[in-house]
Structure 1
Amino acid sequence: MSIDPKNPLKVLHNAVNSTILIRLKDGIEYLGRLKICDNYLNMIIENAKEMMDGSVTAKFGEIFIRGNNILFIKPQAD
């Protein structure tokens, strides 16, 4: 079995203009379109939905998320 290692930054840079799910360390999740991401995982998300326990609690046009607050990032199938 061969495992193809992936660079997380490369995966994120390839996910620009795609939908992603981000969970922060405090448990809040954001679902939206990745506009830009830097090498520190700071990112701008467009059409973001804030979710708690799977339900939408707020909607934002554009948000900035600081990389050191991120627990995980999951690219979504569009």
Structure 2
Amino acid sequence: MRTEDIEKLDGTIDAERLMLVATDGPTGYMRPVIDSMDDDTFALYMRYHFAVCERSDLIGASHHTLDILKKR
């Protein structure tokens, strides 16, 4: 589903978006690399992921997104 489609769907309910995040980012494209990371490298990767997971220009590259809404 495209982010534009998610926004249209959100518009059909009485709720406000708190955030739309990329839950896995580029992980799906580089799974073998991530699986082979040591703990320190993985922690650094997670710091990167949390720093960019809400960037609208990167959300579409994620295999999964999480749309967090608050009921009005």
> Would you tell me which structure has more helix in proportion to its own residues?
2
Same fold (TM over 0.5): no
Larger RCO: 1 or 2 (CA < 8 Å, sep 6+): 2
Q: What TM-score results when the alignment is normalised by the length of structure 1?
A: 0.29
> Would you tell me which structure has more strand in proportion to its own residues?
1
Structure exhibiting the larger radius of gyration computed from Cα positions = 2
